[in-house]
Homo-oligomer: A and B are copies of this chain.
Amino acid sequence: MKNDYRVAGKIWIARGKETFLGYGRIKLLERIREHGSISAAARSMGMGYRHAWRLVDSMNKAAPEALVKTVTGGAGGGGAKLTGAGERAIELFWRIYKEMEDFLENETRDVKERLK
A residues adjacent to B (C-beta < 8 A): 4-16, 20, 63-64, 88, 92, 96, 99-100, 103-104, 107, 111, 114-116
What is the oligomeric copy number?
2
Interface SS of A by simple majority: mixed
Is A111 within 8 A of B88, CB to CB? no
Whole-angstrom distance between the alpha carbons of A11 and B64 in the complex? Answer: 28
Is B63 within 8 A of A115, CB to CB? yes
Q: Lowest 8 CB-CB distances: which A-B pairs, in order?
A: A9-B11, A8-B14, A4-B16, A10-B10, A96-B107, A5-B15, A6-B14, A64-B115
Whole-angstrom distance between the alpha carbons of A96 and B9 in the complex? Answer: 11
CB contacts (< 8 Å) of A107 on chain B: these are 11, 96, 99
